[in-house]
Each structure stands twice: as C-alpha cells, then as structure tokens.
C-alpha cells in the first residue's frame, strides 16, 4: 500500500522537472493536475512562467494533458487559456480518468508522467495505473478544508517514505 503512495520523483515545482531525464525514462506525454500544481488554488490566471513552461515542454516533444478534480467551468477556462485538453471532475484517485487519458493520448502507462501536488489523489491514482508519478510542492497554502485535513496525513506518509526532493 505504501508503495502506491510513493512518487517516482519529488520536486519543488513543475519548473524543476528535467525534460531530458523524463525522455530517458521513456516518457512521451505529461499529464498534470491543475490546482496548486500549475495554478494557485482559486486563481483564474495563468502566469507567463506557466505558459513559457508549456511551450518548452511541447518543444521538448511532450504531449500535454490535464487531469483535474475541478468543476468543468473552472477547468474549461484553463483548457482554453493553456490550449491543453483534459478531463475535469476526474474523481482522482479513481482509475477512470487516468485510463481515459491514456486512451486519448494513445499511449501506454509507461510512456506517461503524471504531475500533481497531492499524494492521495494524484500520486495514488497515477501509481494505480502505472504512470511515472511526480509530486510537487503545492503552489498555495489556501485549499479546501477537506484538502487541508488530508495534508496532515500526507505529511505523516511523507515522513514514512522519507521523501526527499530531487
């Protein structure tokens, strides 16, 4: 069980993801969580650094995809803004959305990385279908009450796993 909670990689933010390293791992596509991974929770804007990163990821040959538990209205605002397709109301850590993403991308699980800020939704869900999981530090401290409670449990798990940032 604990192994399903362990990310393949733990980094400070999406900026710290090494594209060359991902390519060496055989990764062809990057699926990402939205809130607190790419944009701050409740933020409606995409900052220039994010747009620049998306451009660099594409230039490095990666196909991009979003998997978010956000409601469709907020999600569609960002898919338009970022020009990235994906799935809202994903119900992570259930497998359904991750499997749908693999079908949409036409990729096998070993070829896809999953970036997210939560162990119990992003990392667990990604690991369950065999994706290369990358945990990032949440962009904002502001979150749903339920998420804040889960963060306590997350900190315990991170100590158990002795997670260190790459």
> What is residue 12's DSSP assignment?
S
Instruction: Using CB under 5 A, pick the residue from 30, 31, 33, 65 that binds Mg ion.
Output: 33
Among 17-25, 28-36, 47-55, 155-163, which window interacts with Mg ion (CB under 5 A)? 28-36
| Six token digits for residue 21 | 């390293």
Q: How far apart are CA 96 and CA 19, in angstroms?
A: 27
Of 1, 2, 39, 15, which Cα lies nearest the Cα of 134? Answer: 15
Taking the least distance from each CB to Mg ion, the nearer of 11 and 28 is 11
Q: Is 154 in the site for Mg ion (CB under 5 A)?
A: no
CB 136 within 8 A of CB 154: no
Q: How far apart are CA 11 and CA 63, in angstroms?
A: 20
Among 17-25, 72-80, 112-120, 129-137, which window interacts with Mg ion (CB under 5 A)? 112-120
145-158 as b/e: b if 16+ CB within 10 A: eebeebbeebeebb
Length of the chain: 166
Among 18-26, 86-94, 97-105, 115-123, which window interacts with Mg ion (CB under 5 A)? 115-123
Taking the least distance from each CB to Mg ion, the nearer of 36 and 133 is 36
The neighbouring-strand residues paired with 65 are: 31
Taking the least distance from each CB to Mg ion, the nearer of 37 and 133 is 37
Instruction: Using CB under 5 A, pick the residue from 97, 102, 117, 123 that binds Mg ion.
Output: 117
Instruction: Using CB under 5 A, pick the residue from 9, 22, 27, 36 that binds Mg ion.
Output: 36
Among 12-20, 29-37, 84-92, 94-102, which window interacts with Mg ion (CB under 5 A)? 29-37
Number of helices and strands in the chain (H, E): 6, 6
Q: Which residues inside 38-77 make contact with Mg ion, applying CB under 5 A?
A: none
The binding site for Mg ion (CB under 5 A) comprises 33, 35-37, 117
């Amino acid at each position: 069980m604990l192994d399903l909670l362990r990310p393949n990689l733990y980094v400070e933010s999406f900026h710290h993801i090494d594209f060359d390293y991902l390519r060496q791992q055989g990764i062809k596509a990057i699926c990402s969580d939205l809130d607190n991974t790419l944009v701050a929770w409740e933020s409606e804007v995409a900052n220039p650094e994010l747009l620049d990163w998306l451009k660099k990821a594409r230039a490095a040959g990666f196909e991009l995809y979003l998997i978010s538990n956000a409601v469709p209205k907020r999600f569609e605002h960002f898919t338009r803004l970022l020009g990235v397709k994906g799935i809202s109301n994903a119900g992570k850590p259930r497998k359904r959305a991750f499997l749908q993403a693999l079908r949409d991308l036409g990729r096998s699980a070993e070829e896809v990385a999953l970036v997210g800020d939560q162990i119990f939704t992003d990392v667990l869900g990604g690991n369950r279908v065999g994706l290369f999981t990358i945990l990032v530090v949440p962009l904002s401290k502001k979150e749903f009450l339920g998420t804040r409670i889960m963060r306590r449990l997350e900190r315990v798990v991170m100590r158990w796993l002795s997670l260190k940032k790459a």
